[in-house]
């Protein structure tokens, strides 16, 4: 098994996800980049992800006063995608208030939010 994010082989099993259709997806944690992924990550079954660079570029255009449709045309994305990114980022900002508890780091990548929990924290 190889990490789809950093191609590291240092991956460990990280629980299983049971789908309603009865299939079981093995989840993994990468020791290299500390991201979580599943067997389906990187396959067509995996949800399509947008590079964070593109999302931030879109948001930059929007803050510079470009319209949603114009931004979409430049990035060759539909204006619906741009609106969705904006909505997601707005939602995430709401989640960041109150502040993130100590020991946790939230990173945004593309349209995903990961919560990382410090390894040395006592169990809650």
Q: Cα–Cα distance between 24 and 10 in angstroms, integer?
A: 22
Nearer Cβ to Zn ion, position 3 or 61? 3
Kindly state the smallest distance separating residue 9's Cβ from Zn ion, in Å.
9
Q: Which stretch binds Zn ion (CB under 5 A): 3-11, 46-54, 91-99, 104-112?
A: 3-11
Find the binding residues for Zn ion in span 14-53 (CB under 5 A): 30, 32-33
Nearer Cβ to Zn ion, position 3 or 82? 3
> Among the residues of the chain, which ranges form H helices?
52-63, 68-75, 79-95
Kindly tell me which residue out of 6, 100, 105, 106 binds Zn ion, with binding defined by CB under 5 A. Answer: 6
Kindly tell me which residue out of 3, 55, 58, 61 binds Zn ion, with binding defined by CB under 5 A. Answer: 3
Q: Cα–Cα distance between 96 and 119 in angstroms, integer?
A: 21
The percent helix, strand, coil of the chain (3-state, each to 5) is: 30, 25, 45
Kindly tell me which residue out of 1, 2, 8, 54 binds Zn ion, with binding defined by CB under 5 A. Answer: 8
Instruction: Measure Cα distances from 54 to 23, 45, 68, 122 in Å.
Output: 33, 22, 14, 38
Contacts with Zn ion, residue ranges (CB under 5 A): 3, 5-6, 8, 30, 32-33
């Amino acid at each position: 098994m190889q990490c789809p994010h950093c191609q590291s082989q240092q991956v460990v099993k990280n629980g299983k996800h049971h789908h309603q259709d009865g299939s079981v997806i093995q989840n993994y944690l990468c020791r290299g980049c500390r991201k979580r992924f599943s067997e389906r990550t990187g396959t067509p079954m995996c949800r399509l992800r947008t590079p964070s660079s593109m999302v931030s570029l879109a948001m930059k255009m929007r803050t510079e006063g470009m319209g949603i449709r114009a931004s979409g045309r430049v990035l060759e994305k539909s204006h619906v995608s741009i609106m969705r990114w904006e909505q997601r980022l707005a939602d995430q900002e709401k989640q960041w208030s109150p502040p993130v508890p100590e020991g946790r780091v939230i990173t945004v990548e593309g349209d995903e939010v990961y919560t990382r929990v410090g390894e040395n924290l006592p169990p809650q």
